[in-house]
Structure 1
Amino acid sequence: MTFDLDPRLTPARPDLADIRLRGRVEAQRFVEGYAARIVVPSAPLRRRPDPEAGLETEAVMGDAVTVYDIRDGFAFAQIARDGYVGYLPEAALGPADPAPTHRIAVLRSFIYPAPDLKRPHIAHLSLSAAFAAEAREGEYWRLGSGRYVFADHAVPLGRTEPDAVAVAERLVGTPYLWGGRTSLGLDCSGLVQLSLESAGLPCPRDADQQEGALGTALPPGLEGLRRGDLVFWKGHVGMMLDADRLIHANGHHMTVAVEPLTVAVARIAEKSFGAVTSIRRLAATPEA
């Protein structure tokens, strides 16, 4: 028997499944996954083990994952942050330990081969990427790999932003990217997830999941909204900047953009996702 499980969140396929799903799904064999961690700046998660498959979401450095199978350069894995399941590049994975101690708190920073801003950078790190700081050397954290990150661009892992909407505002102008959830490219739900998580608020990955899990529903209508309210369509989500303006990553502007809610509602109803399906309020979001 196979129960009605969301395939995005269910580590199962016909030949293999998580041992915890025994009796809930059909599979040729059941395995116990092992812990790993993302050790590259970002890693694409795809629905199929194919570099040409569409991007479902992204994991970033420091993310914990559970790996169930590795084959042909791809790991069938689950991201701990939101439970998303799919295929990650095998090369993106490393040991689960040491656990991260700090996260990037600016939009993006660089990894250097030495504690010297004049040295050629090795890679960039997005907002929310995390790392284990081994030692402080001047203005830089030394990583276990022997590489360096500018210390003032990072904060201890448990420190969060006071206002999720302010995080989203900092991301205005970021290009739209289907499946993106880094400061180099975002989709609508990726913007919401990244902003809320930066403020210490757990958040599912996709818009429909967010609509079902976050906050409390407000009465129908566009009146009485406030900063931080989430506006949902079937397949889209945005966040209120104030009573009148919406901030959202969208394919119309192809960026994270701010516009009057009434303008967005009219255009979306005519050209894409239809009518607003709900508006939800997060109790922990500041009013201003």
Structure 2
Amino acid sequence: MPDAPDPRLTPARPDLADIRLKGTVVAERYVAGEPARVVVPAAPLRRAPRLEAGLETEAVMGDAVTVFEVRQEFAWVQIARDGYVGYLPEAALGPTDPAPTHRVTSLRTFVYPAADLKRPHVAHLSLGAAFAAEAREGEYWRLAGGGFVFAGHAAPLDEAEADYAATAERLVGTPYLWGGRTSLGLDCSGLVQLCLQMAGRPCPRDADQQERALGGALPPGLDGLRRGDLVFWKGHVGLMLDAERLIHANGHHMAVAVEPLREAVERIAVKSFGAVTSIRRLDPIG
């Protein structure tokens, strides 16, 4: 019997489904989704169209989505980046054009109403958020959607950070946030996804998905590890900074923290996720 489709990645409800799933899932009606793009700095994707519903993940400015339904100020969407399905605020969405040209490379940056750092900022953008740069005005990019961003805090979309562990190190101290994937708050898999995204590597959203999809499994044991290896538990993931140190967003520290891997393994085995399930090494790019 084939595995049931993952509801996190399947735009299907009993009353409505993506037309591409017709014949695969049963629904009262099927629709062809409409493309849209996130036009606010960040938007919560929830499991239900209610403000009190749990946070599943976050979309950021520039993210492409497919919209299947809009009702009562919520849009039921699928995020192109990782396929996640859920409900975004309708007000967070706009047209797909113009397409982003640059993304934020600083932990966060401000959007100003003019190319002047003394003007009061109107918004902030987090690491990885993308925007369409219309023109350069001095030290600032003028955004197609309005506002100005300091050019030194952004780079063209095709520029990647080769050392994704270095990106993780920059995020040390970021508060833990279930479902978070911005520099204001991160969960364990959100940290890994954001760092790999900045390195130009596709990455699923959740730890179990990442464990199945990323790299190749290493032999059991904690010896012979190196920078960039991913350590998985059932429901948790961390990233090695070297042979001995782990960086991870976790509820014990309630932050992105660095600690000796063996100490983390001992604590996690007793207090939370149990034993390590696998350690995986990503292939080099190029």
Where on the TM-score scale, by shorter chain, does this alignment land: which range? Answer: over 0.9
Return the alpha-carbon distance in structure 1 between the equivalents of residues 149 and 234 of structure 2. Answer: 40
Deviation at 1:137, TM superposition (A): 0.8
Tell me the equivalent position of 1:214.
214
SS in 2 for 1:9: coil
Is the contact between residue 132 and residue 145 of structure 2 (CA under 8 Å) also seen in structure 1? no
Aligned letter for 2:64?
Answer: A
5+ residue gaps, structure 2, are: none
**One-letter code of the match for 1:179?**
G
Cα distance in 1, alignment partners of residues 268 and 71 from structure 2: 41
Is residue 64 from structure 1 mapped to residue 64 from structure 2 by the alignment? yes
Aligned partner of 1:40: which letter?
A: V
Q: Where does residue 93 of structure 2 map in the other structure? A: 93
Look up the SS of the partner of 1:247 in the other structure: strand
1:236: how far off? 0.1
For residue 27 of structure 1, what is the aligned residue in structure 2? 27
Counterpart contact for 1:3–1:25, Cα < 8 Å: no
Secondary structure of 1:109's counterpart equals strand
Please give the per-residue CA displacement for 1:238-265, whole angstroms capped at 9, x wherever unaligned: 0001000000000000000000000100
The equivalent of 1:140 in structure 2 is 140
Q: Which residue of 2 aligns with 1:254?
A: 254
**Runs ≥4 residues deviating over 4 A:** none
Unaligned runs of 5+ in 1: none
Q: SS state of the match for residue 208, structure 2?
A: helix
Aligned residue number for residue 202 of structure 1? 202
CA RMSD of aligned residues (A): 1.2
Say if 2:126 is the partner of 1:117. no
Q: Number of aligned pairs?
A: 285
Q: Which amino acid aligns with 1:89?
A: P
Distance in structure 1 (CA, Å) of the matches to 2:55 and 2:140:
33
Q: Could you report, residue by residue, the CA deviation over 1:29-62 in whole angstroms, capped at 9, with x for unpaired residues?
A: 0000010000000000000001101110000000
TM-score for both structures, normalised by structure 2 = 0.98
Alignment of 1:7-18 (within 5 A): 7-18=7-18
CA distance in 2, matches of 1:232, 1:89: 32
Name the residue aligned to 1:173. Answer: 173
Identity of matched residues, %: 78
Aligned residue number for residue 183 of structure 1: 183
Q: Structure 2 counterpart of 1:27, which letter?
A: A
Give the match for residue 127 of structure 1.
127
Q: TM-score, normalised by structure 1?
A: 0.97
Q: Which residue of 2 aligns with 1:270?
A: 270
Structure 1 counterpart of 2:237: 237
Q: For 2:134 and 2:261, locate their aligned partners in 1 and report how far apart those are by CA, in whole Å.
A: 46
1:81-125 CA deviation, whole Å, 9 max, x = no partner? 000000000000000111000000110000111111011111110
Q: Give the C-alpha shift of residue 144 in structure 1.
A: 1.8
- Displacement of 1:3 in angstroms is 6.6
The DSSP-based 3-state class of the residue aligned with 2:91 is helix
Match of 2:279 in 1: 279
